[in-house]
Chains A and B, each alone.
Chain A
Amino acid sequence: QVQLQESGPGLVKPSETLSLTCTVSGGSISSGSYYWSWIRQPPGKGLEWIGYIYYSGSTNYKPSLKSRVTISVDTSKNQFSLKVTSVTAADTAVYYCARALYDSSGYFLFIDIWGQGTMVSVSS
């Protein structure tokens, strides 16, 4: 069965760039029918959708984060990645990578598989 695993630094300094990678195992990221997504959850708070990428490289970002966020895919490694620039304390959160289904019109649907999450703290 498909599993997702996040990796990356747990501590990032303010104004620097947060970089995370999600490795997909048990299935191919290029198989189609899925959007590969990033969601974050500040400590003790709710879930915030960051954006997604299709294996072809097409992306969709949350507008309020779009200027600072880049999601990319490396199909040869079966991985997708997240970069958030100019981070502040407000970016401190557990970051989840996840797989979402999409329908025949390309609509992002629900998330059926989540990674375990990785905590990223922004602090000097």
Chain B
Amino acid sequence: DIVMTQSPDSLAVSLGERATINCKSSQSVLYSSNNKNYLAWYQQKPGQPPKLLIYWASTRESGVPDRFSGSGSGTDFTLTISTLQAEDVAVYFCQQYYSTPITFGPGTKVDIK
């Protein structure tokens, strides 16, 4: 199984400031035949199901604000919230879909400082 790790476990950021979440996979999730990274990011607010934010490591889902961006390749990935808003308080998960079983990172909790 591909093991996903995230750092930090939690972070507190002032409104309007940048939040950066890291995700690392135990093996590369870059598929060489199409040069795509099989990595997605989800946001989960309390009492709600996860919501897809980013797929192919950097493609924003329709309707997701452009303050959310994804980057990275191979085994190291980053989700950046450029200017944190109050509604961004949530837990963020990365997920690899390079191979089954599909696996998720443990999550990073983002709060307001």
Contacts and interface: CB of A to CB of B under 8 A. Distances in A.
Q: Do A and B bind each other?
A: yes
Interface of A: 46-49, 60, 62-64, 96, 98, 107-112, 114-117
A83 B61 CA distance: 32
A108 B38 CA distance: 10
A46 B106 contact: yes
Interface in B20-67: 38, 40, 42, 48-52, 55, 61
Contacts, number: 51
A49 B61 contact: no
Nearest to A97: B49
Instruction: Tell me if B's interface is mostly helix, strand, loop or mixed.
Output: loop
Interface residues of B, number: 21
25 contacts: A46-B105, A47-B95, A47-B104, A49-B100, A49-B102, A49-B103, A60-B100, A62-B100, A64-B101, A107-B97, A108-B97, A108-B102, A109-B38, A110-B95, A110-B97, A111-B42, A111-B52, A111-B95, A112-B52, A112-B61, A114-B49, A114-B50, A114-B51, A115-B49, A116-B48
A108 B107 CA distance: 21
Contacts of A107: 38, 97
Interface string B81-109: 00000000000010101001111111100
B34 to A, nearest CB: 9
Contacts of B38: 107, 109
Interface of B: 38, 40, 42, 48-52, 55, 61, 93, 95, 97, 100-107
A117 B49 contact: yes
A112 B62 CA distance: 10
Given A49-B100, A63-B101, A110-B55, 14 more contacts: A46-B104, A46-B106, A46-B107, A48-B104, A49-B103, A98-B49, A108-B102, A109-B97, A111-B50, A111-B52, A111-B95, A112-B61, A115-B49, A116-B48
B101 A47 contact: no
B105 to A, nearest CB: 7
A49 B49 CA distance: 14
